[in-house]
Amino acid sequence: MMRAAYRGTMQVVAAACTVASGVPGAPPRWRAAADRLGRLDPTAQAMAASAPAVWVHAASVGELNAVRPLIAELRERLVGRVIVVSTLTRSGLALARTMPEAHLALLFPLDARGPVEAVLERFRLEAFLFTETEIWPLWLERLRQEQVPSIMVSGRVSARTARRARWLRPLYRAALAEVTCCMQGDDDARRIVELGADPRRVQVAGSLKFDAGGGEAAAEVERFARAVNAPAQPLVVAGSTHDGEEAIILDVYRRLSLGHRDVALLLAPRHLERLDAVEAVVRATGLPMVRFGALVADGAAGRAERPLVVLLDRMGLLAQCYRLGAVAFVGGSLVPVGGHNVLEPARAGVPVLVGPHTENAGDVVERLIAAGGALRVTSPDTLALALDHLLAEPGAASTMGQRGRAIAQRGQGALERHLKIITARLSAARFARGGLEE
């Protein structure tokens, strides 16, 4: 009954998107829905037909950055395969299209019969890997019918997600029946089994975010460092912020700059489509502001004066920018979003501040706090106090950053554990199908 209801609902959604995408004057979001209806352009069709494929799906930019080392290893090891990378967001798609690890980047199709079959009939899939809790029942069922192994990587199921998904357990049980689940921790493993995964197929492999690195600094980041004279002069990096957080951070920065006149603020909204709205919030404060792209443009002159708010309008550079920070605040945590990746600033040796809402990264956050590598703030005033202390006491900030880096380094090894599980699963699948040529 539930499976039929889900299928019917998704068919209606797909039909509505088909109609809406063709309506003259429709909002861009409606028109963009056509890209999730399983329609591949000629270049993508040719790529799909050229060789067997391994498909890796990550919801958005953060998950995509975390899984990049795994994608690179897969491309190196699985010679002769097309590496397909999909995501759900425009910003994620833009990043995927710049990744040398991927042969083809797509938006993931709607989980309805038409889009799913339209895409899958074009590919000779050898494996499907998906991050965290990107469970799409119809897609996974279709892959099971085709005997294509599905593997959840860096799997995570928060307590909140588990509570919300309980009523979908029959749907998830069917979807997860033959999925190999590489979970981040013991709690995640227990919860995915409660949602219907086969315990024999569930293993704890750790979080790929521990092994993800920012790579060498991009030229734009180097120019930005020169422009704001970081890290010689202090820079506060507020990363992955959401609506409601920027106003708080800006007010705190305004107060902070009265006592710390050499500090600058890098403000990095989680979603780039909010840039104009965030810029309006900054302008309303009267604080001097410049977009990152304009600041680092060729020919931009001189070092920027303080106070200064820099609005990060480039994708995929936040992890590198954290390295320049004196302190980092990780957003999605002052508002009830659940928090974001705290390992990027911790790995950079930068002290980390988070708000009260960190369910999405709860275990890692608690480990950082317990080790003295992160602090939890509960209000604008406590955020201001923490920033003031860390800027006034660089020795304390350095010690805090070193402790956070130690935790990040201690969690490494997840990539190799994932690769062993994936290799074993793909070997078993080849044997079950009668043996395919490597």
Q: Do residues 153 and 254 share a domain?
A: no
pLDDT digits (tens, 9 = 90+) for 369-410: 999 999 999 999 999 999 999 999 999 999 999 999 999 999
**C-alpha dist (Å) from residue 344 to 217, 299, 321, 348, 394:** 14, 30, 10, 6, 20
Q: Which two tokens stand for residue 71?
A: 């994608």
Cα–Cα distance, 265 to 268 (Å, whole number): 10
Q: What is the pLDDT of residue 187?
A: 92
> 103 and 118 in one domain?
yes
What token pair was written down for 153? Answer: 């990587």
Query: What's the pLDDT tens digit per position in 286-300?
Result: 999 999 999 998 655
SS (H, E, C) 248-301: HHHHHHHHHHHHCCCCEEEEEECCHHHHHHHHHHHHHHCCCEEEHHHHHCCCCC
**Does residue 9 fall inside a structural domain?**
no
- Of all residues in the chain, what percent carry a pLDDT higher than 90? 74
Q: Is residue 160 part of a domain?
A: yes
Tell me the chain's radius of gyration from C-alpha atoms: 23
Strand partners, 83: 54
Max alpha carbon distance in the chain (Å)?
Answer: 71
Does 45 fall in a domain?
yes
Which residue range(s) make up the domain with 312? Answer: 219-410
304 and 160 together in one domain: no
Whole-number Å distance between alpha carbons of 140 and 172: 10
Q: Is residue 8 part of a domain?
A: no
**Claim to verify: residue 204 and residue 342 sit in the same structural domain:** no
Question: What is the per-residue pLDDT across 46-64, written as a single tens digit (0 to 9) for each?
Answer: 999 999 999 999 998 888 9
Tell which wins on pLDDT, 161 or 389: 389
**Domain CATH number, residue 388:** 3.40.50.2000
CA 240 to chain centre: 10
How confident is the model at residue 207, as a pLDDT? 93
Q: pTM above 0.75?
A: yes
The pLDDT of residue 368 is: 97
Please compute the mean of the pLDDT values over residues 154-178 and round it to a whole number. 88
Provide the CATH number for the domain around residue 110.
3.40.50.11720
Rounded (to 5) percent helix, strand, coil in the chain? 50, 15, 35
Q: Measured between alpha carbons, how far is residue 375 from residues 342, 382, 396 in Å?
A: 11, 10, 12
Same domain (yes/no): 134, 233: no
The answer to whether 317 and 218 have CB atoms below 8 angstroms apart is: yes
DSSP state of 337: T
**Does 215 have pLDDT greater than 70?**
no
Is the peptide bond prior to 52 cis by the omega test (within 30 degrees of 0)? no
DSSP letter, residue 31: H
Residue 437 lies inside a defined structural domain of this protein: no
Q: How many CB atoms lie within 10 A of CB 393?
A: 12
Q: Which two tokens stand for residue 128?
A: 């499907």
3-state secondary structure 161-196: HHHHHHHHHHHHHHHHCCCEEEECCHHHHHHHHHCC
Question: Band of the pLDDT at 164, cuts 50, 70, 90?
Answer: confident
Q: Compute the average pLDDT of residues 143-149.
A: 95
Per the CB < 8 A criterion, the answer to whether 171 and 2 are in contact is yes
- Using one digit for the tens of pLDDT, what is the confidence trace for 103-121? 999 999 999 999 999 999 9
Q: Known catalytic residues?
A: 63
Cα–Cα distance for residue pair 232/60, rounded to 1 Å: 33
438 part of a folded domain = no
CA distance 10 to 33: 13
pLDDT confidence of residue 436: 45
Instruction: Report if residue 14 sits inside a domain.
Output: no
Residue 2 domain-assigned (yes or no):
no
Instruction: Name the average pLDDT for the chain.
Output: 91
By the 8 A CB rule, do 137 and 175 touch?
A: yes
Q: Are residues 43 and 80 in the same domain?
A: yes
Same domain, 83 and 206: yes
pLDDT digits (tens, 9 = 90+) for 4-25: 888 888 888 888 888 776 777 6
Confidence of residue 437 (pLDDT cuts 50, 70, 90): very low
Q: What is the tally of structural domains in the chain?
A: 2
For 302-342, write each residue's pLDDT tens digit.
577 889 999 999 988 999 999 999 999 999 999 999 999 99
One domain, residues 124 and 165: yes
Pair 233, 380 in one domain: yes
Lowest mean pLDDT segment, chosen from 179-183, 190-194, 211-215, 323-327 = 211-215
Do 289 and 187 lie in one domain? The reply is: no
Asked if 86 and 181 sit in the same domain, the reply is: yes
Q: Are residues 308 and 384 in the same domain?
A: yes
Return the amino acid letter for 13.
V
